[in-house]
Each structure stands twice: as structure tokens, then as C-alpha cells.
Structure 1
Amino acid sequence: MIQRRRYPFLLLSIVAHAALLGVLYRVEPDQQRIQRSREQSLVDAGQRLTERARLEKRVRDMARIKSQLESGTADKDDEVQFSAQPRTPEELLKEARELSRKIDEIERNDRAERLAKLLRIPKQKALEKLAQTTKPEEPAGAEAAKPVDAAVKIEQLEAKARDALARRGLQREQQQDGTRVAAGELRSGSAARQGGPGAQVGGAPAGAKSPGGLSMSSVFRTIDAFMHSDRAGRGIEGNIVAGNHDDVDSTIVRIPEVPAGARVKGTGRIVGPGGPYADRVYVNRWYLIGPFERKHGDAWLAPDPPEQAVVLDAAYRGKDGRLLKWEYVDSANYPLVPPQAAEEAVYYGYTELMVDKERDLTIWVGAHDDAQLWLNDVLVWRGRHVAKGPFYSEVKAADNPHGRDYNFSEGKRVVHLRQGRNKLFFKLSNGLGALFFSLVLTK
């Protein structure tokens, strides 16, 4: 009784605090659910944007194929999806169908010209002969009336366009080698590489010109580069760990020797007027995203969304369920270390290199642990941690000048850059411990 008089509001206070804690307990999960819901909406939107960007890339590739079939050259594919307003799949499908129709027409005219020369008949007569043996195309109205998955159809049309380009490449190669194919061997598919019955080896002059005015070898190289854009470039130089899981250079990788004479260092992404005057430029400005969940040894088995399409407005779900967005990083320190360093994870980087004129440069690449680098959508570097123990030891040594000299490089390669904008994209896989990526340019 005395206690109740001394603390008349104690029981009421306890009850009030308990009620408040109950309310907070219920409000906090509600807030978390709302936050998770918002994040998931961003992730879902990011997936849709990425898928549409992939479809746009397929349609752009079809346009480049059409350009190559027409003139032997391709328009530059330097578009990157910054906008969150890509075209709808239906709009892309409509353009893909129109491009496919034009590619079919180019192929038909090309076959007619070759058939007319072989049979010594007018081209119109050759077109009529081809029409008799060609399966009629499905009317546009009937095609539109069918329910269709736009993504699947665009993929099919792009594959068909690539087949057409492959056939053109084989034809150019045969012309360059002087192989003449008899009329009976002309097929809608690609001709055999070996001359069959009636094949003749003629004397096609070296440097023969295509209808577009380019040499046959130049045309074929252009087509070959497009068809194998996911293949690492040729001409490996220096101590480079290159290859896939079954093809690894076992050379002991060490930091290459760099002449210690007058060396001018610089950072940035511009080569030529407007850029730093330097003979060793560290590329330090990137859009970065990561970490994505991936066991170190499994990093190359499946691509994450950024590897499928660069959509800088998109958000994705990453390691430990965290929300990932592209982040612009202007690194004041060397080498480049992703902001959210994590083990057993994958990171991606995108930037653009501005070049005053077309030129060859040497790229020096180093990574802890593994890295791939694409230049204008062509894989030019693929390094793995195999045999990189000496390289890691030198990187970690406290008494070496490599960090000062922008030289945490495990190897080098000469690459060709076009005038103007060049796209750079890297994939970095980290196992345990340290994490960094280094890209340095020299003449």
C-alpha cells in the first residue's frame, strides 16, 4: 500500500511503455516490408530494362549486318542505354521484321547476280528462277495475326541475319582464294568450303575489290570480327594469363619491367587534345556495380544482368540480397578498388575512352583476382588467378615502386581504338582477400 502511494503511476508507466514497444515492434516490420517492396519494384524494373536493352542490341546487330551485307562496312555500335525509356518489344519486333525482309532481299539479289553470271542470263531471269525454288514468305498480315513472343521472335530473326552474314563471309573468302562454285552447287545455305564437282581454282587477283570498293580480305576480316566478337583478340604479348578453364597459359606471371627513365603519369579517359600529357595513363573513372553473389571458381559460368546489357538506370539484387545500382567512381587512388569490397563476389565496370584519332595503344591490365575486359564489345583480355602467385607477392610488397608508377600490371596487349568514343567494359571476380582492377594505357 505504501509502495503504491509512493509510485502511483509506476504500473501505468509500465503498461504504457509496453504498449509503445508493441506498436514500434509492429511499425518496424511494416517499414521494412515497405522498403523491401520498393527495392523489389526497382529490381523488377531493372530486369525489364535489361531485357529490353538486350532486344535493342539484337536489333542494332541486325542493322549492322544489313549494312555489312550492303557495303562491306558496319555502322558503329556505340549506343549505350542510359535512358529508362527503351522501346517496347513490339516496336523492336516490327523493326526486326523489316530489317529481316531487307536482308532477305539483299541475299536474293546477291544470289541472282551470281546465278546470272554463271548461266549467262539476265538478272531478272535469274530472279525468276530463284523465285521458283524459294519457299514463299508468310504474308505480313498472317504473321501479325498470330500470338508471338517478341523476344523469341527477335532472337530467331537475329540468328537468321547472322547466318546470312556467315554465308557472305564464306563467299568473300572463296572469292579471295579464287574458288569458283558451279551453278549446281548454289544453295540457300552456305556453300561447302571445299570445291565440289565442277569447282575451279581461278586466278582471283590479290587485293580483289568487293562491290563496296573494299578489298576482299578487308571485308572478310570485318565480317569475321563481328561473328566472333566474344572471342579474345589475337596477339597475346608479355606475361599474360589467358584462356578459359581448359586453356590457361601456365607462364609464371610477374609485373612486367617498365623502363624507369623519364615517365610522365596521368589519369583520365581522354587520349589526345584535352587529355593529360602523359606516356602512362591510368583509366580511373568508371561506372561500377557489385558485388554480385558468385563463388570464385564459378564466376564465368553464368552472366549477371550487367554483362547481358549495360543499363545505367537499372537496379539489381546482389550479394546478401543487397540492392545494387551503378555508381560513378572517380578514383583518386591507384589501383581501382570497388566501393563495396566483398569476397566471393563479382563486379562490373563501364566507361568510355575518347581518342582524338584512330590509333593502336597498349593496354596494361592487372587484377586481383580474375578479370575480363571488352573493348567496343570485343573481348580483348581474359586473365585468371592460375600461376599469379608471384604477381600477388609483388603487389603486396611494401618496398616496390609499382603502385607509385601505375604498374600493378600482369601483362599487356596492343589494341586498336577508333576515333572518338570507345566503350570499355570489365568483369572482375574476387575470391578471398584483396580486390582491385588496373587498366593503364601507353603508346
Structure 2
Amino acid sequence: MVLDDAPAPRTALLEHVRRHPFLLLSFVLHAVPLAVLVHLGSRHIEHLRIERQQRQVEVGARLTAQARLDKRVHDMERIKSLLEQSAAARPAPSKDDEVQFSAQPKAPDELLKQAKELSRKIDELERDAKAERLAQLLGIPKDKALEQIAKAPAPDEPPAPEPKDAADAAAQIEKLEAKARAALEQRRQQLEQQQNGVQVAADASAGAQRDAGKGKGNANTNANANANANANGRGKIGKGIGDGTTSGAGTVMLDRIAAFKNPDLPDRVTKAYAGDGLRPFLDDGVGHVPEVDAATMVKGAGRIIGPGGTYANRVWVNRWYVIGPFDGRHGEGVFANYRHPPEQGVVLDAAYRGKGGRVVTWDYVDMARYPLMPPVHAEDAVYYGYTELMIDADQDLTIWVGADDDAQLWLNDRLAWAGGNVHKDWFFGQVYETRNTFVRDYNLSEGKRRVHFRKGRNKLFFKLSNGPTRIFFSLVLTK
């Protein structure tokens, strides 16, 4: 036998298996069930993870709904305060407690009890205001006017039954809030009438009196004569009833009521952020990044102005709770993006379904590097941020705001900055396509404006909409 005819040597493992076949059988009998168990276990773990996420989302939806109810009741408190202020000869300064800070929402039944009590007090304020007007009109004491109002037939409004569940309690709270808002709207109209007076067309009224003396006048003729005189501008306008004495207080109250009714509408200043010496550039204008004096700049970061904060004259707000991404629009739709649950109420413990079905939660972000960028980057997406600033005294500060692509900023529940500028190529060109020191100077800013901060806690909430590629948000404060 030559060497090539020799049998191939068996490996030790195969030789061992050949000699002990029961070991192979034992391995198969144990390994296959183990693999099945691992597979089933991983599926079970994944199933538990999905169930846990779904519970998080359900809890988040419930907390957000409760926060919305909490805001309705808080709005009723503000309506009661506005009605009380409107009845005073000189309205008191606006109360600091009108700002509602993020907190664990109350249960619906507890909120309903509070709403019913507020509704009762608002009804009393309405009756008192009616008595005041009736007493002035008839020249009688106020208590006599109250007696007359009490004798008048009240509208048949049966008491609301006890709520069956949370949804029923929420519906009752919504109804009570709507009733309170109607009372505030009625009061606003009364203040406007007092402010402007009852307009009387002198020529038209004189003609109506002549017709009435001849027995030929009628209501339609009078109304048409009045309307024609006012429309043509020929009638002399008589002095208004209630004119002059309460104009200052009335103006203050009308402004406060308008601010309460329209918290998401920008005031006149936010409609146009004017660059230095340039015309307004919102919408179709042209602007430039505001200039800074780098030589005198002392930069700082944080959210405390005064003792405890960093010594600086240019402060970048770098600490936020951020949540996202949520589904966003594309193209010009970025500048009129979807509204998501955080806009209904900030609940830092809540979780929601975000972009692509992923679960998103509030993350605390303390950025060491300027500017602020969300932890998770996504295109065609929406993000939200919440923080609180501590200010040592009531003061006006300048906010410098910039974003890629668009942002809105609310200060103490009032819209302080509205982007919406679909023609921002000028901004992106300056930021990305030229040599600049904007990052070094904390100045990725589209514009700036002056706003008022309260002493103590001030809350800030932003909405950031991103289209393609890069994303950031910048808020800087200066004196």
C-alpha cells in the first residue's frame, strides 16, 4: 500500500461522535427546545416592550387631556379675575398667578367641582354688573336694582347631573368654560359701548322726530335714515353715552381681555421684525442678521438672570426639555405646520407617538455647544421645547431668535415671536454660505425684539419646524 491509498484520518470530533452517538442525540434534543425557547422569549420581550410603549402613550394622552381640562378651569379663573377687574373704577395690575406652570394635572371630577364653583361666582359677578347698569339707568339704589333682577324670570337651566365618567366631567367643564367666555364677551361689548359711546346721528334723529310728530314715522324709516346718515357721513355724530369718564380704565381692560382671548396671535410688533435701518422682512421682505458688538460682549449660558446666574451681557438659553420628532410638512408647509399634543399642554411625564410611530418623550437637554439642536434629527419634522427662566426683577429684555427652518416662541402663554417667513433664503445664505462669526458670537438670529419678563419664574415654550437637512434653534437674551 502506497501513501496515497492510506485512509483519510478522521477528526477527533467526528471520531468522538462515531464512538458516542448518544451524545449527538442528547445535544439535538436539548438545543432545539432551547432555540425555540430563545425565539419565543425574544418575541415575548418584544411584545412586552410594545405593550409598555402603548401604555406610555395611553397615559400620555390621558395626562394631556387632563392638562387641557386644567387649562380650561384656569381660564375660568382668569375670566373671573377679568370680570372683577372690569367692575373696578381703576383695574389693579395684572396678577402674576395668571401664568400657569407645568404641573401634574388634577383629576376630572376635582376639576369639575372647581369649575362649578367658579361658574357660580361668575354668575354673581354678572348679576352685580347688571344691577350696576340698571341702577345707573333708572337712577335707583343698587340694592333695589338687585331686587328687580331677582324678580325677573330666570332662564330654565336644570342643574347638571353628577358626571358618569371622566368624559362626562370633561364635557361639563367645556360647557361651563364656554358659558364663562360668553360672559366675558358680553362684558367686552359693554366696555366697547362705554368707550365709544352710543353713536347718535343728529340730523337723522331730528327727521325721525318730525315724522313721529306727524304720525308718519316707523321703526324701519328711522333705522334706514340712521343707517344712511352714518353711511354717507352727512349726519352729525352726537356725544356718546358713557363717554370720557372710564375711557382709560376701559382701554386697559379691553387690552387685557384681547390678550386673554387671543394668546396665539402676535401683537403688532411681531408682525414685522425690522432690521437696522431696513424695511420689515417678514414674508416677502429682505433682512439681515442683527449686528453685535463683539468687543464689548461677555457671553454666558443658562436660564437665570441676576443672582445665581452667570455674569454676562449676552445670555444663550441652552437648557430645555425637548420632545420630538413629530410628523411635519414639506416645502412651504413647514411654515404652517401640524399641531401636536404638546401644544395642548406641557406634561413632562407624558409620552406620545411621534414621527414614524416611534414613542417620543421629553428629554432634558443641556447643550454645551451653541446652538441648540434636538437630540434626534429628522427631516420634515416638528419639535417642542419648554424651559423656565428665573429673573431677579420685572424688566424688559431683548430676545434674539433664529431657527432652521421655522420657530414660534411663547413667553408666559403669549406669543412673543412668530416666524412663518417662507422667504428665508437671505438668512440661510448668510448663515451657511458666507464666512461669519455668528456661532462664535451667539448670533444665529433672524431678528430681535423687546419683551417684558416678570420677576421670578417665566416660562418659555417653542415650536420648531424642520424641512430638509440641518436644524437648530437659538434664543439669546440681552439687556
Cα 1:410/1:299, change in 2 over 3 Å:
closer
Structure 1 segment 187-336 matched on structure 2, within 5 A: 201-202=240-241, 204-205=243-244, 208=247, 215-235=249-269, 236-239=272-275, 249-296=283-330, 297=333, 300=336, 302-336=338-372
Match of 1:337 among 373, 391, 396: 373
Structure 2 spans left out of the alignment, 5+ residues: 1-9, 87-91, 201-229, 231-236
Match of 1:56 among 64, 70, 85: 70
Which stretch of structure 1 is more off in the superposition, 298-307 or 399-408?
Answer: 298-307
Contact 2:322–2:362 (CA<8 Å) still a contact in 1? yes
- Hey, what does 2:142 align to over in structure 1? 123
**1:331 CA displacement:** 1.0
Structure 1: distance between partners of 2:262 and 2:181: 11
**1:139 CA displacement:** 5.1
Contact 1:294–1:344 (CA<8 Å) still a contact in 2? yes
**1:176 CA displacement:** 3.1
Q: Deviations over 1:25-54 (max 9, x none)?
A: 111111011111111111111111111111
Match of 1:166 among 171, 185, 188: 185
- Hey, what does 1:41 align to over in structure 2? 55
Structure 1: distance between partners of 2:118 and 2:285: 47
Structure 1 spans left out of the alignment, 5+ residues: 182-193, 210-214
Contact 2:266–2:416 (CA<8 Å) still a contact in 1? yes
Q: Deviations over 1:246-271 (max 9, x none)?
A: x9621134322223431111111122
What's the secondary structure of 1:261's corresponding residue?
Answer: helix
Structure 2: distance between partners of 1:261 and 1:175: 54
Contact 2:334–2:465 (CA<8 Å) still a contact in 1? no
- Hey, what does 2:195 align to over in structure 1? 176
What's the secondary structure of 1:395's corresponding residue?
Answer: helix
Structure 1: distance between partners of 2:195 and 2:421: 42
Q: Deviations over 1:133-165 (max 9, x none)?
A: 55346454xx22575821122112112212222
Contact 1:375–1:422 (CA<8 Å) still a contact in 2? yes
Which stretch of structure 1 is more off in the superposition, 230-239 or 321-330?
Answer: 230-239
Cα 1:362/1:155, change in 2 over 3 Å:
same
Match of 1:82 among 73, 96, 103: 103
Match of 2:417 among 377, 381, 391: 381
What's the secondary structure of 1:311's corresponding residue?
Answer: coil
Which stretch of structure 1 is more off in the superposition, 365-374 or 150-159?
Answer: 150-159
Structure 2: distance between partners of 1:128 and 1:438: 60
- Hey, what does 1:184 align to over in structure 2? none
Which stretch of structure 1 is more off in the superposition, 145-154 or 115-124?
Answer: 145-154
- Hey, what does 1:368 align to over in structure 2? 404
Match of 1:144 among 161, 167, 176: 161
Cα 1:131/1:301, change in 2 over 3 Å:
farther
- Hey, what does 2:388 align to over in structure 1? 352
Match of 2:448 among 396, 400, 412: 412
Contact 2:306–2:391 (CA<8 Å) still a contact in 1? yes
What's the secondary structure of 2:296's corresponding residue?
Answer: coil
- Hey, what does 1:190 align to over in structure 2? none
**1:302 CA displacement:** 3.8
- Hey, what does 2:463 align to over in structure 1? 427
| Residue correspondences, number | 414
The aligned amino acid for 2:18 is: R
Identity between Structure 1 and Structure 2 (%): 52
Cα 1:206/1:331, change in 2 over 3 Å:
farther
Matched, 1:65 2:79: yes
- Structure possessing the higher radius of gyration over alpha carbons: 2
| TM-score normalised by structure 1 residue count | 0.85
The aligned amino acid for 1:249 is: D
Cα 1:122/1:385, change in 2 over 3 Å:
closer
Contact 2:328–2:338 (CA<8 Å) still a contact in 1? no
The aligned amino acid for 1:423 is: K
Cα 1:137/1:71, change in 2 over 3 Å:
farther
Contact 2:335–2:420 (CA<8 Å) still a contact in 1? no
Contact 2:395–2:454 (CA<8 Å) still a contact in 1? yes
Q: Deviations over 1:193-233 (max 9, x none)?
A: x9xxx985157337756xxxxx3322221111111111112
Cα 1:138/1:29, change in 2 over 3 Å:
same
Structure 1: distance between partners of 2:457 and 2:362: 20
Structure 2: distance between partners of 1:207 and 1:295: 48
Structure 1: distance between partners of 2:458 and 2:54: 33
Structure 1: distance between partners of 2:242 and 2:352: 58
| TM-score normalised by structure 2 residue count | 0.79
The aligned amino acid for 1:224 is: A
Structure 2: distance between partners of 1:415 and 1:291: 29
Match of 1:19 among 21, 33, 36: 33
The aligned amino acid for 1:151 is: A
- Hey, what does 1:212 align to over in structure 2? none
**1:24 CA displacement:** 1.3
The aligned amino acid for 1:99 is: L
- Hey, what does 1:5 align to over in structure 2? 18
Structure 1: distance between partners of 2:275 and 2:257: 30
Q: Which has the higher helix share?
A: 2
Match of 2:426 among 390, 396, 404: 390
Cα 1:397/1:301, change in 2 over 3 Å:
closer
Structure 2: distance between partners of 1:137 and 1:357: 51
Structure 2: distance between partners of 1:36 and 1:108: 55
- Aligned-residue RMSD, C-alpha: 2.9
**1:180 CA displacement:** 8.2
Which stretch of structure 1 is more off in the superposition, 54-63 or 129-138?
Answer: 129-138
